[in-house]
Amino acid sequence: MAVFTETKKPYELLVRWDKDGNIAGAHVGFIERTFKDGVEIASKIGDVMPVAVGASAGFPLADILETVQIDALTERDAALAEKQTAVQALQTKQAALDVATAALTAREAATIKA
């Protein structure tokens, strides 16, 4: 006798922002799979639903947000380090420009006196 099993697993989390950068909405979706004797015979990606509905249907939102938050913090740290490197490079170039400007000013003053 064949053994059929069905599973319903989280499939996606969709977050949209509006043109001003504010979160405009978030939805979640599940994938439903059917197995016969351990072999997948069918799968269906379900319609997305509001986060609150999905959470009450078993979507592990807390687990996902934790990961997203960690990723966001990691990306933030990388961006801050990149910014610091760029600021240091800008400061170095500004110092070189200041030296060149002072040299040019000195040459112009010498030329005027001559």
**Cα 46 from Cα 59, distance rounded (Å):** 13
Provide the pLDDT for residue 114.
67
Q: What is the pTM of this model?
A: 0.55
Tell me which amino acid residue 101 is. T
Provide the pLDDT for residue 76.
77
Report domain extents, the chain: 1-59, 60-114
Q: Tens-digit pLDDT profile for the chain (114 aa)? A: 899 999 999 999 988 888 998 777 788 999 999 999 999 999 999 999 988 888 889 988 888 878 777 677 678 778 888 999 999 999 999 999 999 999 999 998 888 876
**Cα 95 from Cα 97, distance rounded (Å):** 5
Provide the pLDDT for residue 104.
93
Provide the pLDDT for residue 40.
96
Geometric angle at alpha carbon 98, from 95 and 104, rounded to 5°? 145
Count Cβ neighbours within 10 Å for each residue of 42-56 and write b for 16 or more, e otherwise.
eeeeeebbebeebee
Phi and psi angles of residue 75, each rounded to the nearest 5 degrees, phi first: -65, -35
Provide the pLDDT for residue 44.
98
Geometric angle at alpha carbon 24, from 66 and 26, rounded to 5°? 45
